[in-house]
A and B are shown apart, each in its own frame.
Chain A
Amino acid sequence: MGALLTATGICKHYRVGRERVHAVHDVSLRIDRGECVGLVGESGCGKSTVAGIVTSLIQADAGRVLLEGRDISAGSGRRRNVCTAIQMVFQSPADSFNPRLTLGDSIIEGLINQGIAKQEARNLTLEYLGLCGLPKTFADRYPHQVSGGECQRASIARAIAVQPKLLICDEATSALDVTIQAQIIDLIAKLRRELSMSCLLISHDIALIWEICDRVMIMCEGEIIEDGIPSDIISHPKQEYTRSLIEAAFLSSAWGGCCS
């Protein structure tokens, strides 16, 4: 498997008041074709920022992002190369829909941009909405007329409808209950099989990551501190932070377990 995406030495700083926040600090990562990579870390450690840089929506202060060997860093003027090859499910789904367009119209847009005919695009939209567990009628709703979970599912439908090479899910299932979450995970797994789609999963749900990812990266304070296959990391966490994360996850699952 060749590398689909490589990022080298990316950095992003923000200034808040007089302070300087190192949101992402010298991060390099690589995602192979068909691979599913998990990105785990404390809240505020820079995961969304990494996702933004990889999709070149955020301009990094330093570093390069290559998609299939081509530079797609924001500001390189090549963003259109990315086109629909990378898709992202945003952390705040409600804000990621244009309030003046129906959900359906927002989803269709990406399809039409790929050159799919209008009618077919509409059918695909309805189909993917259905796959994500939303009835057809939701295509004609506006973002403010749906629940948080429904909006998130629409957002997932939008991302996968265009069959991207790389799907980035930023807390894509946080607003979903377990049954639907399972349905979505299955859907993603199926797409991975069929299209050899790569995934970057950002989640706090360690169980989920462990379950479906080929590889996990642990982030802490803007840096990737650990990178390896889940079972290795669980059994031999190298870092103190990783260890505490895993312990906490065990603990919470134990709660769930004790009750059943």
Chain B
Amino acid sequence: MQSVAGDAVDALYDNISGGVSEEIKAERRAELGLDKPFLVQYANWLKGLVQGDMGISYLSGKAVFPTFMSKLPATLLLMVSSISLTVTVSIPLGVLAAVRQNRILDYVVRGLTFAGNSLPGFFTSLLLIYFFSLKLRLLPVMGGTISLKSIILPTLTLAIAMSSKYIRQVRVTVLEELQKDYVTGARARGVRESVIMYANVLKTAMLTIITLLALSIGSLLGGTAIIETIFMWDGVGKLAVDSILMRDYPMIQAYVIWMALIYVAVNLVTDLLYHFLDPRIRRAHSA
């Protein structure tokens, strides 16, 4: 990656006021080891990594790992809150839209999801801030300090985008499932529609939805970046954007590695969950 773009020293010194002589830059590069050939830099970095040292941020001069770790909880918090909101909103709404297929409620819900799906994150957040903070004066614009109030807007922003996807996905999967014979079977046994829906249909539909949800955790990890920047949410997303713009490679690498780790972990959990939920697959494997 490092061979790719300009280096951090350039980026930093050009960002600020005037400019800095190449001499000073060279010195700083030497300090950071950026003057060495790319492969040497890379080898050094790998060596550090093996020893559990992810290097030092070019930008702040602080060790990458603790910096990253100190920001991770904020992002995870935001992720968890937005995913929970998404799940709690989209499953009932998706089911409702499916049950009321082609009736007013369905159209309304679908219309909303279209809107949610065609709003860029930054725009949603602007609208939310505009209404909740400027017009209604209910919530703070910024999430500088983590509190119940400050997490609402960023969570909403992320959840709106995600829910509008999931509502549609849930709706379709549920519609598909509702046509299966076992639904008729359960009806014949007099099982309540809600039980049919939640214990049978949703459980089956969940298989698909969980796949999607796990996938979106990946994109959510990246997607929080813009939102974090807008709401001044001090998490890894914002850190990543800053680092990318400033070519702070140790930071970016740490970010990539960690995201990959988290992602792999999430995937693993999904696979297990999938196994757990779908007996057809579970039993097939253990036979």
Interface residues in chain A, defined as those with a beta carbon under 8 Å from any beta carbon in chain B: 13-16, 94
Contacts and interface: CB of A to CB of B under 8 A. Distances in A.
8 contacts: A13-B287, A14-B283, A14-B287, A15-B283, A15-B286, A15-B287, A16-B283, A94-B181
Contacts of A13: 287
A16 B181 CA distance: 24
Interface string B249-287: 000000000000000000000000000000000010011
A16 B283 CA distance: 8
B177 to A, nearest CB: 13
A15 B286 CA distance: 7
B263 to A, nearest CB: 32
A34 to B, nearest CB: 36
Secondary structure at the A interface, as helix, strand, loop or mixed, is strand
Contacts of B181: 94
Contacts of B286: 15
Interface in B171-197: 181
A94 B283 CA distance: 24
Q: Which 6 A-B pairs have the closest CB atoms?
A: A15-B287, A15-B286, A14-B287, A15-B283, A13-B287, A14-B283
Contacts of A94: 181
A13 B283 CA distance: 12
B283 to A, nearest CB: 7
A15 B285 CA distance: 10
Contacts of A16: 283
Contacts of B287: 13-15
Nearest to B283: A15
Given A14-B287, A15-B286, A16-B283, 5 more contacts: A13-B287, A14-B283, A15-B283, A15-B287, A94-B181
A94 B287 CA distance: 27
B137 to A, nearest CB: 55
Contacts of B283: 14-16
A70 B1 CA distance: 55
A132 to B, nearest CB: 24
Nearest to A99: B179
A13 B181 CA distance: 28
A94 to B, nearest CB: 8
A175 to B, nearest CB: 15
Nearest to B286: A15
Nearest to A94: B181
Nearest to A59: B287
Contacts of A15: 283, 286-287
A14 B285 CA distance: 11
A13 B287 CA distance: 7
A15 B283 CA distance: 7
A91 B286 CA distance: 25
Contacts of A14: 283, 287
